[in-house]
Amino acid sequence: MAAGKRDIYIEAGASFEMDVTWMVGSATPMPKDLTGAQAWMQIRARFGAPLMLELSSDDNEIFFPGNGIIRVEMDYDQTASLTSVASPVKRAKYDLLVQLPDPGATPIFYKVRLLEGKVTISPPITVQDMP
């Protein structure tokens, strides 16, 4: 399965939330069962560049609320870390990797690069220290 394409827009210094619904089947699409899934998302300036930000279901930044939905959340500190006065990166790339259990198989899980795309980062004008 080839990764889906979806570009995202992140306002640095503000909270970010993205929902992705994974549907399976062509005749009558149904939500993918994500029971036992884990997920990771990384943002880098370009392929092979140093990591700018990593999110994971292990760290409660990626959730599986049901009905095939994968929710990615970043708080304002995480989005603010994507750009700085010294290094105002405005474009980057990301992908979303999902690991699913595969009972009876060896190994007992499989990984799918579900989504990938470009990241546009909008630097903030108003900057304030948050409590």
Kindly report the CATH number assigned to the domain that includes residue 73.
2.60.40.10
Give the pair of three-digit tokens for residue 21. Answer: 């619904």
| pLDDT for the residue numbered 125 | 81
| pLDDT for the residue numbered 73 | 98
**CB-based contacts of 53, cutoff 8 Å, min separation 6:** 42, 43, 74, 78, 81, 82
DSSP of 49-107: SPEEEEEETTTTSEEEEETTEEEEEE-HHHHHTT--SS----EEEEEEEEEEE-TTSSS
Number of domains in the chain: 1
Give the pair of three-digit tokens for residue 7. Answer: 């570009």
| pLDDT for the residue numbered 123 | 87
Domain residues for 66?
A: 4-22+32-122
| pLDDT for the residue numbered 58 | 97
| pLDDT for the residue numbered 77 | 92
| pLDDT for the residue numbered 71 | 98
pLDDT tens for the chain, 131 residues long, are 789 999 999 999 999 999 999 999 989 999 999 999 999 999 999 999 999 999 999 999 999 999 999 999 999 999 999 986 556 668 999 999 999 998 777 778 899 999 999 999 998 888 776 55
| pLDDT for the residue numbered 103 | 76
Is residue 108 a part of any domain in this protein?
Answer: yes
> Phi/psi at 79 (nearest 5 deg)?
-70, -35
Is residue 88 a part of any domain in this protein?
Answer: yes
Q: Do 83 and 89 touch, CB atoms closer than 8 A?
A: yes
As a whole number of angstroms, the distance between CA 60 and CA 94 comes to: 18
